[in-house]
Amino acid sequence: MGVEQQNGYSPTAKLLHWVSAAVILWATSSGLFAAAFADEAVRAWLASLNVSLTTLFVPVFALRVVCRLLAKPPAAPHLSPAMRRSARLGHAALYVLTGIVLASGVLMMRQDIDVFEWVSLPRPLRNAALNRLFGGVHRVASVCLAVLVLGHVLAVVRHERRGTPVLQRMLWSGSRSASRAERLEPANRLTEGPARDSGGHALFSHGDTGAAHVLAHRLADAGRADDGYRMLGAWLEGRRGSGSEWVHLQFHMAVFELAVGRWDDACARFHRHILPAAAAGDDALTDAPGLLWRLMLAASRPVRLPWNVLRRTALRRLGNTGDSYVELHNVLALAGSGDVASIDRWLDSMRPSDRPGDRFLLRNAALALRAFATRDYQRAADLLDTVVPRLHVLGGSREQNRLFEDIADESRRRALGGRRRQALRSSGYSRVA
């Protein structure tokens, strides 16, 4: 079984990669040029040069195959699962086609193999028919390899232009700092300064998990979702965990995934890590409703989301938490599931508090969510405009409370859309299907 290179590609892997890239690019491009444009003398010179070069490359390629089998490539959390599968298949095809081109190139030789006039190797086959057969295989495989190499280069360019650092892992310059950033190690380098977010909310920061949590908040507060997606994803890759802190890191990772446009990945992460915790206990009382609302708001089409699981947990905990912020997230779950009746019963049963300002704020936030659930979007927007600036009083980090800003924005958007539709109806406009 191969060992995954957690700290990036090894120097040997990088050297073999670039030597292979140089030889393959030269051999394929010069071969295609000779076949299409060059005269007889140039073709003969290029053929001799490429025979010598690729003969020397055979043991290098064999060494690269061995190294690839012994050491898995480093994790690539910046790529989606489908993209990682495509990358694996593409690289496997590159290895196979390169092997076919090299083997058929040797077997097609009709004379001894001269290597830069240093040494002469006897040709393996002395059957002209077999030489012609392998010559045909060599030409077809060379064209296929050239197309695959071109696709590989274009894919790298596409990823780099989109800010996905796939090439950086094969470069020597900056590799040390990239590796340190991607692994988020050691922890004490990540927790310098107070463990608070930009809004002053205290963050758990003990151990490696706490270090990853602090960095996730700092990147989110700085608006660096791409870096958060890459770096927290690299830290989570291959790790296992449980409990509320682990669930909370999965929440942060899903939020980064949503921010970089990977809704499906965020939804899969919710089902894999957060929903089971919400169904089994109290480890996701705020993270599960908060993330499911984000998924609902970010969906590009109507989707079925597992609100009932969260609704059952909310009904079990509603009124019994002693924590206004958790209570607000119970209401989030009820509003998301459309259970307005349970929200009304909870509002009617709200007990007095020694902090009446907090209860008033919580009540208005709940009324805003109820209005959203009943499609009274203007009322939801108006109430949230008064709630959002003071929501930190109830608790929650800057990143957690950003959800309520998003709900307010969505409420205004839907209210505006409703007014436009009403205006069109009032003007007698009708759409003909």
The per-residue pLDDT for range 190-246, each reduced to its tens digit, is 444 457 887 888 888 888 888 899 999 999 988 899 999 999 999 998 888 889 999
pLDDT digits (tens, 9 = 90+) for 295-307: 999 998 888 999 9
pLDDT of residue 180: 40
Q: What is the CB neighbour count within 10 angstroms for residue 157?
A: 12
pLDDT at residue 86, rounded to an integer: 79
What percent of the chain is predicted at pLDDT more than 70? 83
Half-sphere exposure of 85 (CA within 13 A, CB side): 3
Work out the mean pLDDT of the chain and round it to a whole number.
83
Question: For the segment 337-356, what is each residue's pLDDT rounded down to a tens digit?
Answer: 999 999 999 999 887 665 66
- Cα separation, 178 vs 176, whole angstroms: 5
Per-residue pLDDT, 174:
42
Query: Mind listing the pLDDT tens digit for each residue in 12-33?
Result: 888 888 899 899 888 888 877 7
For 302-335, b/e burial (b = at least 16 CB within 10 A) is eeebebebbbebbbebbeeeeebbbbbbbbbbbb
Instruction: Judge contact between 307 and 333, C-beta under 8 A.
Output: yes
Q: In the prediction, which pLDDT does 371 show?
A: 96
pLDDT confidence of residue 260: 93
Question: Which tokens hold the place of 61?
Answer: 């390629």
pLDDT of residue 331: 95
Separation of alpha carbons 392 and 200, rounded Å: 9
High-pLDDT (> 90) share of the chain, %: 41
In DSSP terms, which residues pair with 113 in a beta bridge?
121
Q: In the prediction, which pLDDT does 115 show?
A: 85
Instruction: Please compute, for residue 80, the number of CA atoms within 13 A of its CA located in the half-sphere on the CB side.
Output: 14
Q: Return the axis-axis angle of helices 11-36 and 81-107, rounded to nearest 10°.
A: 60
pLDDT for position 353: 61
Give the torsion through C-alpha atoms of 302, 305, 310, 311, to 10 deg: 50
What pLDDT score was predicted for residue 204? 86
Angle of helix 225-236 relative to helix 175-183, nearest 10 degrees, comes to 70
pLDDT digits (tens, 9 = 90+) for 394-417: 888 989 999 999 999 999 999 988
Q: Give me the residues paired with residue 121 across strands.
A: 113
Dist CA 359 CA 376 (whole Å) = 22
Report pLDDT for 239.
86
Specify the DSSP class assigned to residue 193.
Answer: S
Q: Assess contact for 371 and 377: CB atoms under 8 A.
A: yes
Encode pLDDT of 36-80 as tens digits: 776 788 888 888 888 888 889 999 999 998 888 887 666 555 555
CB 412 within 8 A of CB 381: yes
The token duo for 397 is 């980090």
Q: Which contacts (CB < 8 Å, 24+ apart) does range 178-182 have?
A: 178/8, 179/7, 179/8, 181/231, 182/8, 182/230, 182/231, 182/234, 182/235
Q: What stretches of 237-355 show up as alpha helix (H) in DSSP?
A: 243-259, 263-269, 275-280, 287-298, 307-317, 324-337, 340-348
Average pLDDT over residues 104-131: 87
